[in-house]
Amino acid sequence: MIKGLISRLKRWYAIPYLLLCIGVSIQSIAYLLGDAAFSYSWLGALVAVGPLVLFMSVVYALPYTRIVRFIAFPVVSALLGAVLAVIEMRPLPTFYTLFFGLGGVLVYVFWYTYLDRSDNILLHKGAKLPDFTLTSLAGEPVVSSSFIGKKVLWIFFRGNWCPMCQAQLDSLAKEFDTFKAYGVEMVLISPQSRVKSIKQKSRMPAPMQFFEDQDNQAAQRLGIVHRYGVPLGIRGYGHDTTLPTVIMTDELGCIIYVDLTDNFRIRPKPEALLEVLSHG
């Protein structure tokens, strides 16, 4: 119950918070340009909030994955803004700086990006991958056991609305031929509709296999459903999604690698996956 409440709070956080920060940035610029007297407090509000807006905008416009848990630029800017704001302590801009700037960025880094995963007893190295059923882009059911006899890289991603997922798939596509040389089938799975996956597949530079996980049935089977994981304001994807998960299985369907990230900004690099194959 508590975890469900936390998930709902996170669902309501991202886009409303970003819109509020945009509003604060615009108001800060207006005061800095319109006031006859220079204000350290309004400058502090802009310095604290503006870089976070820029960061989140860049993430969605130019998606990328990060291998570090913490993002220095918005944090340092928020701290600097707080110092500037308290020089004058004007109530409104100081509130903006400490609440939306410093408070907001700390909430984003230390709370929002974490996935609150439960321990997963099904997915661990050496275990047999449980059977589940997917739907091909042609609308046909495909059972996971049909891949027995091949090495398979199973990528469960949230959807094409997620910039980190998009970047993850782009990085894998660049190494598609290398994985193919190792005899690895790359299987990309999300709960988004087949129509959306068809559009996403058309943009990929490699012939990667996309499958739909209808109603998160496979994710439920594997214990990787992310309740209320789709941010408020993202339309056409429902409210539940899958926890980003990477699994590699051998020809017998046994797990030889698994990544259950607890932070949606952090995904395994292709180099780490290829290293597993090179030592296999």
CATH 3.30.70.100, applies to 133-278: no
Q: What is the DSSP letter of 233?
A: T
Handedness of CA 239, 13, 232, 2 (dihedral sign): positive
The Cα–Cα gap between 39 and 99 comes to: 18
The rounded percent of the chain whose pLDDT value lies above 90 is 73
For the chain, the average pLDDT equals: 91
| pLDDT at residue 49 is higher than 80 | yes
Q: Is the pTM of this model over 0.85?
A: yes
Alpha carbon 204 to its chain's center: 19
Which carries the bigger pLDDT value, residue 13 or residue 244?
A: 244
Angstrom distance (rounded) from CA 245 to CA 168: 11
- Per-residue tokens: 90: 């004007």
Of 254, 250, 257, the closest CA to residue 272 belongs to: 257
- Three-state SS for 225? strand
Residue 185: name the closest of 223, 147, 217 by CA: 147
Question: What string of H, E and C letters represents the secondary structure of 105-136?
Answer: HHHHHHHHCECCCCCCCCCCCCCECCCCEEEE
Q: Give 57's strand partners.
A: none
Beta carbons within 10 angstroms of residue 47's beta carbon: 23
Per-residue model confidence as pLDDT tens digits over 77-123 = 999 999 999 999 999 999 999 999 999 988 988 899 999 888 999 99
pLDDT of residue 70: 61
- Ranges of each domain in the chain: 2-112, 133-278
At 246 the pLDDT is: 98
- Residues 258-280 have pLDDT tens digits of 999 999 989 999 999 999 999 86
Q: Which residue has the higher pLDDT, 16 or 140?
A: 140
